[in-house]
């Protein structure tokens, strides 16, 4: 309790001082005139009468009655000027109360040792139970004008506005919309539309923000301050990259609080999902929204370049949201520009071709692409026996069957069918049977007897 | 210059649609021109009469260290690099255009490619104009109709064909698509009875193919989806099938885990050419792991005899770990795999060929204030070949799409069926410059090869590439984003 009291004093001392009153250098020196005026009403008759012009009835002429250079020295006091304040208070409208209730004097103080209005005394009635005057649940507008109405406050004074303690609670930025919806007037005491536009790219779409006025003083304060976009809990999920499409489609307006079109274009490119076009386009002098360092499009696993088959066929993610069909042809249909393979790929492609990590024939015709090049460069010499290319073993011809069964795709890149028919044909060759143990001739013949006829006479097929 | 008749149709379509496009509700496209040149030395086979070569047996060594293969009574032969370098240059031009001519649901898609080259050893560098795609799409309510030269991607791969397709969405979340037409050879974008295959194989098909098939896709919410595909290609004279296959692919997002399953099956040889189960998941902030099990069997079309040789496949398991180090722009990646080949039943075990294989890689990528570095080391060993080597790229990105980088690499390669160890080392510079809708790319590199054998392939080469791309239209899309 003691701690709270200290906090209260501190807050009231700093915050209350700024919000409720602004020190006036031209205050009337009440203490010096103690005993001269028996009651407050003599000078402040308007407080009780309701005559607002008579709240401060003392004028320089009144002073000159004594301070005429004869009775008392002349003074150069112009009288009180209206305090710069956003306090929404009228003595006349306030229920009658003893002056000391609010302007209480410390113990032992002289009779006219007047204090500024004491905030805790306001809370006694206006926010019973509140430990401090900016606490959540306290209706600010009960005592304070909106910032738009408080035209006498200067930029410097506004800059000193204290931050309510509930604004410092973790997650406040993510949840403040509900508070604003419940009581926008509370927000309006300290904020104008300019405050919200510092972060909200979609400020012109949010009615609560549009209900706030513009204010040049706040605009000058927020001009150089970057926006803050806290990461919602949902975005922290590890699968958010893969799954954010559905919620974005359902409620793109929510995304627009923090994201502009460039946010999405980082990964989706400028031909991304149509819904992205519903996001705001940032202006050069406005907030830019959340920007990403690209980590890869959603759903694109690390080996996606070579392993995108099921994703593309099943349609998760939908390729067409980012890519035109031409994009597929760039790689799959005989590349017209380097891209898929590194520039030095040809010099080392042999090992990768043997390994068939990616199926070469998906994009390249073994006959008209690979063999055409291998023949042209001299590797393939028509597959003649004794050609000396496979010189790793003296027994290559005897043992080549095993290598061929394991690497048939590689064989085809140099050898025509006639190379093999020389020995394996039952028509004109040595009738060496090349068929493996699981070969089902009927099954093949049902679909293409012509392929059987390359090696066999019709009579041999019966 | 050879111009395929379909390219003519596509050109006509482009001309007809061209003025329409200018007034269309929307259009976008890209024009690209890319030129490459390569200088290297080819191989030639040389020989000496067997009688003049000293020694016995099949393998002998000449005085200068050249290893030769001898057939008694005939010749001793070997391969060696030719003396002169060959140089080739290839230029490709691509024009892709998609337009919405103002009729709701109607769009036109054209992708033309022109090739102009020295027609040397580099494949498909002869002069020709080709229509990669040229089709119209009408997409309304439950149906999508498409006709022309269509590109299709499915679990069976990427196929182009001339024909039509109908997609029906009346039973959402189930979609059915049927397609039919005249098929083009896979990876070739040309008919099977055309010059390209005829020049490449004595038994090339003499008839085109009719293609027909269907897809069925079913989704369960946003997180589970599967597609079944059946496809067959038949000779136009109906005498035989070229292919008959099916595939099934599924992806499921289960909690944090992405599960992929792929299978494709060849009816003719009763074999699954691909069976793969793969899972990937983030396990901590910035850390993602992926693992898979895979069985692979090579697949060949029925106009060849290769499938009848009953080639065997392998079974493989592997995994990858990717770590994006928190608070930095450093990505670390590591992975590996092991595979085991099936029994070949071909005998000759005494030759001791590899029956299993493995591979591993490590990669680090770092970016900081425009600077980026990417280094990767790979090692793999298996049937046929092994290699160990790495690449390092260091560069600076001045702006999105504009960068300059230097690259170096070195790779050591062993061929199981050929003597010797070769090391290919080299490097070069590459860069890109994007100005508005234009982007310019280029690279220049050189590689040298050292081989621990005399008078064999000198793989020293010089390469260059330059490309220019221009994107135009109301909604320029390429999916590049900020992701390099």
State the pLDDT at residue B3: 45
Q: Which of residues 213-272 of B touch A (CB under 8 A)?
A: 217, 219, 222-223, 225-227, 229, 235, 239-242, 244, 247, 249-251, 253, 255-256, 258, 260-262, 267-270
Distance from CA of A391 to the nearest CA of B (A): 5
Chain A residue numbers with beta carbons less than 8 Å from the beta carbon of B472 are none
- Interface contact A274, partner B, CB < 8 A: no
Determine, for residues B158 and A328 on separate chains, whether the beta-carbon distance falls below 8 Å. Answer: yes
DSSP state of A356: T
pLDDT at site A151: 87
Confidence of residue B218 (pLDDT cuts 50, 70, 90): very high
B 455-484 near A (Cβ less than 8 A): 459, 461, 463, 465, 467, 469, 475-484
How buried is residue B111: exposed, middle or buried, by Cβ count under 10 Å (0-12/13-18/19+)? buried
User: Distance between CA atoms of A404 and A412, rounded to whole angstroms?
Assistant: 9
**What integer pLDDT is reported at residue A39 of this predicted model?**
75
Which pLDDT value is given to residue B482? 31
Distance CA(B200)–CA(A380), nearest Å, equals 12
Tell me whether B66 touches chain A (CB under 8 Å).
no
Q: Say whether residue A433 is in contact with chain B using an 8 A CB cutoff.
A: no
* Residue among A260, A269, A300, A406 with most chain B CBs within 10 A, to mutate: A406
pLDDT in tens, A254-306: 899 899 887 887 777 655 677 887 888 888 777 888 876 555 566 676 677 78
CB contact under 8 A, B92 and A336: yes
Query: What pLDDT does residue B228 have?
Result: 97
Q: Say what the pLDDT of residue B11 is.
A: 56
Average pLDDT for residues B450-468, to the nearest whole number? 81
Chain B interface test: which of A244, A295, A354, A404 (most B C-beta within 10 Å): A354
What length is written for chain A? 462
Give B359's pLDDT tier (boundaries 50, 70, 90).
Answer: very high
pLDDT in tens, A33-59: 777 777 777 778 777 777 777 777 777
Partner residue opposite B253 with nearest CB, options A239, A439, A448: A239
Residue-wise burial string across A39-74, b where 16 or more C-beta atoms lie within 10 A, e elsewhere: ebeebbbbbeeeeeeebbbbeeeebeeebeeeeeee
Q: Which of A299, A368, A447 sits opposite B197 (nearest CB)?
A: A368
A324 in reach of chain B (CB within 8 A): yes
Q: Measure the CA angle with vertex A277, ends A271 and A278; round to 5°.
A: 160
Secondary structure (3-state) at A12: helix
Question: Mean pLDDT, to the nearest integer, of B398-423?
Answer: 89
A394 touches chain B (CB under 8 A): yes
**Residue B14: what pLDDT?**
56
Q: Most A CBs within 10 Å: which of B240, B337, B468, as the mutation test of the A interface? A: B240
- Coarse DSSP helix, strand, coil percentages of chain A, rounded to the nearest 5 percent: 45, 0, 55
Q: What is the pLDDT of residue A294?
A: 52
Q: Has residue A136 got a pLDDT over 50?
A: yes
Per-window interface: B 90-109 vs A, CB < 8 A: 92, 94, 96, 98, 109
Q: How far apart are CA B114 and CA B131, in angstroms?
A: 9
Measure in Å the smallest separation between the Cα of A289 and chain B Cα atoms: 16
Task: Look at A329-338, B216-225, B231-240 and tell me which has the smallest mean pLDDT.
Answer: A329-338
Q: Which residues of A touch B320 (CB under 8 A)?
A: 302-303
Tokens linked to A399:
């043992």
Provide the mean pLDDT of chain B. Answer: 86
Tokens of B133: 């795609």
Interface test with A, best of B191, B451, B482 (most A CBs within 10 A): B482
- pLDDT value at B380 more than 90: yes
What is the phi-psi region of residue A13: left when phi exceeds 0, alpha when psi lies from -120 to 50, beta otherwise? alpha
Tell me the C-alpha distance between A33 and B441, whole Å: 88
What is the predicted pLDDT for the residue at B33? 92
Interface contact flag, A246 B481, Cβ < 8 Å: no
pLDDT tens, residue by residue, A327-373: 777 777 755 555 678 767 777 788 888 887 778 888 888 888 888 88
Mean pLDDT of B257-274: 94
**What's the token pair of residue B81?**
């690099």
* DSSP states of A360-371: GGGTS-IIIIII
| Residue of higher predicted confidence among A125 and B392 | B392
**A25 confidence band (pLDDT: 50, 70, 90):** very low
% of chain B surpassing 70 pLDDT: 91
Q: Does A429 touch chain B (CB under 8 A)?
A: no
By C-alpha distance, the chain B residue nearest A378 is B43
How many Å apart are CA A279 and CA A290, to the nearest integer?
A: 12
Angle at A395 between CA A391 and CA A401, to 5 degrees: 100
- Residue A225 burial (10 A CB sphere; 0-12, 13-18, 19+): exposed
Neighbours of B383 (CB within 10 A): 26
d(CA A446, CA B292): 35
Cα–Cα distance measured from residue B328 to residue A323, given in angstroms and rounded to the nearest whole number: 29
In the block, tokens 């984003």 appear at B481
Lookup result for tokens 């690279």: B443
**pLDDT at residue B374 greater than cutoff 70:** yes
Residue B445: pLDDT over 70: yes
Q: Write the DSSP assignment of A312-344 as a string of letters.
A: HHHTSS-GGGT--HHHHHHHHS--SSS-SS-TT
pLDDT higher than 90, residue B275: yes
Per-residue pLDDT at A56:
75
> What are the residue ranges spanned by the domains of chain A?
2-159, 349-461
| Band of residue B8 on the pLDDT scale cut at 50, 70, 90 | low
pLDDT on residue A301: 64
The CA distance from A165 to the nearest CA of chain B, in Å, is 31
| pLDDT surpassing 80 at residue B378 | yes
pLDDT at B311 over 90: yes
Reported as a single tens digit per residue, the pLDDT across A399-409 is 889 999 999 99
Question: Cβ of B387 and A381 within 8 Å?
Answer: no
Half-sphere exposure of A122 (CA within 13 A, CB side): 22
Among B479, B480, B482, B484, most A C-beta atoms within 10 A, so best to mutate, is B479
Least confident of A88-97, A248-257, B12-21, B189-198: B12-21
Tens of pLDDT, residue by residue over B19-49, are 544 444 678 888 999 998 888 888 888 889 9
A109 or A168: which carries more pLDDT confidence? Answer: A168
User: pLDDT tens across B111-165, in order?
Assistant: 998 888 876 777 777 778 889 899 999 988 899 999 999 998 899 988 899 999 9
- Interface subset of B 13-32, CB within 8 angstroms of A: 30, 32
Instruction: Determine what percent of chain B is predicted with pLDDT higher than 90.
Output: 48
3-class DSSP state of A46: helix
CB within 8 Å of chain B, chain A residues 205-244? 237-239, 242-243
In DSSP terms, which residues pair with B374 in a beta bridge? B365, B393
Four-residue CA torsion sign, B390, B394, B400, B401: negative
- Can you tell me the mean pLDDT for B228-254? 95
The highest-confidence range among A418-422, B337-341, B343-347, B364-368, by mean pLDDT, is B337-341
The rounded distance, in Å, linking the Cα atoms of B75 and B73 is 7
Task: State the ipTM, two decimals.
Answer: 0.88
Question: Residue B9: what pLDDT?
Answer: 59
Kindly state whether B318 is in contact with chain A, defined as any CB-CB distance less than 8 angstroms. no
Region A212-238 average pLDDT: 84
**Confidence category of residue A70, pLDDT binned at 50, 70, 90:** confident
The answer on pLDDT for A462 being more than 70 is no
């Amino acid at each position: 309790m003691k701690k709270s009291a200290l906090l209260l004093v501190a807050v009231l001392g700093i915050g209350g001082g700024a919000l409720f009153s602004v020190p006036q250098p031209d205050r009337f020196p009440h203490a010096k005139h103690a005993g001269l005026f028996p009651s407050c009403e003599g000078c402040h008759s308007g407080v009780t009468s309701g005559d607002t012009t008579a709240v401060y009835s003392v004028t320089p002429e009144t002073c000159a009655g004594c301070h005429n250079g004869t009775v008392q020295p002349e003074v150069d006091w112009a009288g009180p000027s209206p305090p710069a304040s956003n306090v929404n208070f009228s003595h006349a409208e306030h229920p009658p109360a003893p002056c000391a209730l609010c302007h209480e004097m410390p113990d032992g103080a002289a009779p006219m040792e007047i204090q500024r209005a004491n905030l805790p005394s306001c809370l006694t009635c206006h926010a019973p139970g509140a430990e401090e005057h900016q606490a959540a649940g306290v209706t600010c507008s009960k005592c304070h004008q909106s910032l738009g109405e408080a035209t006498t406050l200067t930029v410097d004074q506004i800059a000193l506005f204290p931050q309510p303690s509930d604004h410092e609670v973790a997650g406040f930025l993510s949840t403040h919309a509900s508070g604003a919806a419940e009581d926008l007037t509370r927000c309006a005491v300290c904020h104008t539309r300019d405050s919200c536009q510092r972060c909200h790219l979609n400020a012109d779409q949010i009615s609560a923000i549009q209900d706030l006025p513009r204010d040049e003083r706040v605009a000058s304060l927020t001009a150089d301050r970057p926006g803050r976009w806290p990461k919602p809990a949902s975005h922290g999920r590890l699968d958010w990259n893969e799954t954010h499409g559905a919620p974005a489609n359902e409620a793109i307006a929510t995304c627009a609080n923090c994201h502009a079109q460039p946010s999405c274009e980082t990964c989706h490119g400028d031909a991304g999902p149509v819904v992205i076009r519903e996001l705001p386009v940032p202006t050069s002098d406005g907030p830019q929204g959340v920007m990403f360092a690209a980590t890869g499009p959603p759903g694109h696993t690390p080996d996606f370049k070579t392993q995108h088959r099921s994703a593309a066929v099943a349609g998760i993610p939908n390729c067409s949201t980012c890519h035109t069909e031409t994009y597929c042809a760039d790689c799959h249909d005989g590349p017209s520009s380097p891209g898929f393979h590194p520039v030095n790929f040809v010099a080392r492609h042999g090992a990768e071709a043997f390994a068939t990590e990616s199926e070469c024939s998906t994009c390249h015709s073994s006959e008209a692409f690979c063999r055409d090049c291998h023949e042209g460069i001299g590797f393939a010499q028509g597959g003649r026996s004794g050609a000396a290319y496979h010189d790793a073993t003296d027994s290559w011809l005897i043992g080549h069957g095993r290598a061929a069964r394991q690497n048939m795709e590689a064989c085809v890149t140099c050898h025509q069918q006639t190379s093999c028919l020389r020995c394996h044909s039952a028509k004109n060759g040595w009738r060496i049977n090349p068929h493996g143990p699981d070969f089902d001739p009927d099954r093949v013949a049902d679909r293409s007897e012509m392929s059987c006829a390359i090696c066999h006479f019709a009579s041999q097929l019966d | 210059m050879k111009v395929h008749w379909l390219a003519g149709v596509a050109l006509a379509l482009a001309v007809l649609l061209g003025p329409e496009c200018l007034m269309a509700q929307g259009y976008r496209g890209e024009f690209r021109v890319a030129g490459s040149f390569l200088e290297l030395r080819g191989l030639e086979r040389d020989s000496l009469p067997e009688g003049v070569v000293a020694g016995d047996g099949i393998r002998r060594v000449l005085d200068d260290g050249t290893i030769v293969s001898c057939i008694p009574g005939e010749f001793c032969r070997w391969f060696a690099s030719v003396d002169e370098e060959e140089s080739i240059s290839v230029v490709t031009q691509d024009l892709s255009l998609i337009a919405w001519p103002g009729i709701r649901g109607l769009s036109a898609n054209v992708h033309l490619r022109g090739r102009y080259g020295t027609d040397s050893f580099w494949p498909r560098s002869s002069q020709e104009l080709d229509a990669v795609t040229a089709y119209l799409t009408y997409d309304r309510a439950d149906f999508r109709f498409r006709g022309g030269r269509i590109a299709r991607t499915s679990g069976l791969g990427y196929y182009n064909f001339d024909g039509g397709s109908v997609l029906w969405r009346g039973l959402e979340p189930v979609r059915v698509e049927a397609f039919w037409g005249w098929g083009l050879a896979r990876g070739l974008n040309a008919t099977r009875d055309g010059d390209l295959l005829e020049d490449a194989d004595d038994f090339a098909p003499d008839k085109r193919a009719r293609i027909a098939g269907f897809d069925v896709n079913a989704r369960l919410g946003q997180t589970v989806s599967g597609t079944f595909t059946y496809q067959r290609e038949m000779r136009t004279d109906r005498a035989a099938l070229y292919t008959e296959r099916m595939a099934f692919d599924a992806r499921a997002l289960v909690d944090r885990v992405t599960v992929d399953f792929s299978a494709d099956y060849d009816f003719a040889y009763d074999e699954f050419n691909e069976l793969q189960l793969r899972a990937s998941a983030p396990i901590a902030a910035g850390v993602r792991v992926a693992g898979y099990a895979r069985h692979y069997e090579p697949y060949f079309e029925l106009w060849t005899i290769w499938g009848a040789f009953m080639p065997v496949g392998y079974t493989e398991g592997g995994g990858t770990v990717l770590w994006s180090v928190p608070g930095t722009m450093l990505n670390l990646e590591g992975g590996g795999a092991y595979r085991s080949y099936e029994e070949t039943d071909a005998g000759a075990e005494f030759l001791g060929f590899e029956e299993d294989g493995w591979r591993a890689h490590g990669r680090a990528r770092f970016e900081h204030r425009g600077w980026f570095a990417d280094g990767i080391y790979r090692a793999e060993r298996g049937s046929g070949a092994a290699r160990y080597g790495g690449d390092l790229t260091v560069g600076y990105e001045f702006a999105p799409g504009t960068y300059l980088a230097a690259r170096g690499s070195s790779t050591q390669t062993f061929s199981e069926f050929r003597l010797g160890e070769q090391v290919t080392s080299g490097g070069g510079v590459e860069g890109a410059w994007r100005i508005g809708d234009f982007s310019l790319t280029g690279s220049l590199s050189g590689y040298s090869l050292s081989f621990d054998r005399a008078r064999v392939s000198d793989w020293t080469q010089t390469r260059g590439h330059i490309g220019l791309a221009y994107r135009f239209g109301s909604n320029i899309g390429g999916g590049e984003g900020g992701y390099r």
